[in-house]
Amino acid sequence: MADFLAEHEITAYALGKAMGTSYMNTVYRLARRGHEPSRIDLPTLVTVLDGLRTLTGKDVQITDILHYESSVELTPTAAGNGRT
């Protein structure tokens, strides 16, 4: 999410205000590159998206701010060779 905020020149403070949250520590953690929380609850995620939509005027989606990085390395046998 830090990349999205930087790309759109949005500060954590501005996001927190747009979200209407009193949990600014959560917003600052989300905005810190390399120190992102390991989890986020769905109501908070919805509020973040709504805040970003308000600030950007764009239809911000989950995939715009979250990126999946697999910890599983696929091998030809693990990738599905038709056996069960």
Q: Tens of pLDDT along 38-70?
A: 888 899 899 999 999 999 999 999 999 888 778
* CA quadruple 18, 24, 29, 31: dihedral, nearest 10: 30
pLDDT value at position 1?
Answer: 86
pTM, to two decimals: 0.76
